[in-house]
Amino acid sequence: MSKQRARSNGEGSIYARTAGGYAAYAWVTTPTGKRTRKYVYGKTREEVHSKWLALHQQARQGAVSTTVPSLAEYLAAWLAEVIKPTAAPATVANYGMFVRLYIAPALGPKRLDKLTVRDVQTWLNRLRSTCQCCAQGKDLARATPRCCAKGLCCEQVASDWTVRSAWTVLRSALGNAVRDELVHRNVAELARLPMPRPKRVRPWTVDEVRQFLEAAHAAHDPLYAAYVLILTLGLRRGEVLGLKWEDVDLGAGELRIGWQLQRVGGRLLRRETKTGASDAVLPLPIICVAALNEWAASQTRWQREAGEAWQPLGFVFTTRHGLPVEPRNFHRDFKRRSRRAGVSEIPVHATRKTCASLLVALDVHPRVAMQILRHSQIAVTMNVYSEVSSDTTKAALRLLGESLTSGPSVSRDA
């Protein structure tokens, strides 16, 4: 008869349960530093023995949690305690949306430490083939259903970029769970999904930019000056709408970028730009100074007409009562103006690529383009290394301004 090896103190035990099956425990140290027992269970002794050995391995590697929340509970705590205090409001809202609509409904009930690679892979596969109108009850929430709620599925499946973004949020949350020592590996990292192909938008040519700006100026479009800024300086939508007159020095011909306007959680927020690399003082070319002077006169007239209804918030671009321009309205008006100008429709964010193309077409040095577009790395602009002076930057912008003001409609008034 073979002798059983004597277990050392604190090694734990395996035993049969009165209700059937087997159980085992081992002494572990929790993330709070407390020394306690952790149990594992199974139908056979062999199954429990394997789990018991794995538990000992975890205990040797570090702290082991004895109470593990569900994925939904952990995600809620992660959003509130990690993401909200550290991330930008738009990022917080975006992460919350992916958790609420895509992750929690499918994986939320799973216990955090029981979530497997197969669970994540199955979720990703289903996400790519499931109608989100049906899954999220979009049509059911309409006053008058028109598709899925009527049994006519619209097959509104998530795009590859949406699926990848949802996976990225889950991967980030599970990475934090690993740091919290609640799990010992990030199962989302082991799942496979294809890399989406980026959508390629053809930027406008110099002639198309001139045609667009001439049409906007001839129509006395109140957003003409804003269009000039995004096309000649590569300003983002939030940056141009977040400008205040205190950021503009028309006498010196300079513009300070440091703020952006965003709608987050039903509120318009003016907050600092995402990174320090986005902040800059940019020289204004002639066309920008002329457009802003013209707009300032129009805004003064609006203020006089509005009287006491005017809101003195100091924004450069406003409604007729001094309120900031809604980002979505700006995007809609930009596309409408594109159609009326007879140029191809591009999203507002694609104007930065248009600006970069203009700079290349005008033989502007890559380093100068990097300064104008405020890229944090030269590799984003072009893999070229050199240094230029601020005078060169001003000269490049002046060249760009002269090119855009050469058309008859703009040059007459600007």
pLDDT at position 262 over 80: yes
Tell me how far apart the 2 most distant CA atoms of the chain are, in Å: 107
Secondary structure E strands in 30-70: 35-42
4 domain residue, yes or no: no
Token pair for 69:
């929340």
283/171 same-domain check = no
Q: Which has more confidence, 332 or 287?
A: 332
Q: What domain range includes position 76? A: 71-143+152-190
Task: Indicate yes or no: pTM above 0.75.
Answer: no
Does the residue 311 lie in any domain?
yes
- 186 shares its domain with 303: no
Could you tell me if 54 and 89 lie in one domain?
A: no
d(CA 250, CA 377): 29
214 occurs within a structural domain: yes
Higher pLDDT, 346 or 394: 346
Q: How confident is the model at residue 203 (pLDDT cuts 50, 70, 90)?
A: confident
In a domain, 161, yes or no: yes
352-391 pLDDT per residue, tens: 777 776 776 666 656 566 666 666 664 555 533 333 445 6
Instruction: Considering only residues 102 and 206, tell me which one the structure prediction assigns the higher pLDDT.
Output: 102
Most confident of 14-28, 107-121, 204-218: 107-121
In this structure, the answer to whether residues 210 and 244 fall within a common structural domain is: yes
User: Do 322 and 349 fall into the same domain?
Assistant: yes
| Mean pLDDT score of the chain | 83
**Cβ-proximal residues to 266 (8 Å cutoff; 6+ apart), any chain:** none
Q: Which of 28-37, 230-239, 300-309 has the highest mean pLDDT?
A: 300-309
Question: For residue 393, what pLDDT is reported?
Answer: 58
Q: Are residues 171 and 219 in the same domain?
A: no
- Claim to verify: residue 363 and residue 277 sit in the same structural domain: yes
What length is written for the chain? 414
277 and 387 in contact (C-beta within 8 Å)?
no
Q: Are the C-beta atoms of 368 and 393 separated by less than 8 Å?
A: yes
Please check whether residue 283 lies inside any domain of the structure.
yes
- Domain stops at, among 24, 39, 61: 61
Assess if residue 197 is contained within a domain.
no
Both 394 and 338 in one domain: the answer is yes
201, part of any domain: no
Number of domains present in the structure of the chain: 3
| Stronger pLDDT, 280 or 41, i.e. the higher one | 41
What pLDDT, on a 0 to 100 scale, did the predictor assign at position 286?
84
C-alpha closest to that of 232 among 183, 283, 273: 283
Residues 98 and 30 in one domain: no
* CATH number of the domain to which 330 belongs: 1.10.443.10
Asked if residue 50 has pLDDT above 70, the reply is: yes
**129 vs 381, residue with greater confidence:** 129
169 and 267 share a domain?
A: no
Domain match, 309 and 364 both: yes
Q: What is the per-residue pLDDT for 182? A: 82
Whether residue 244 is found in the same domain as residue 100: no
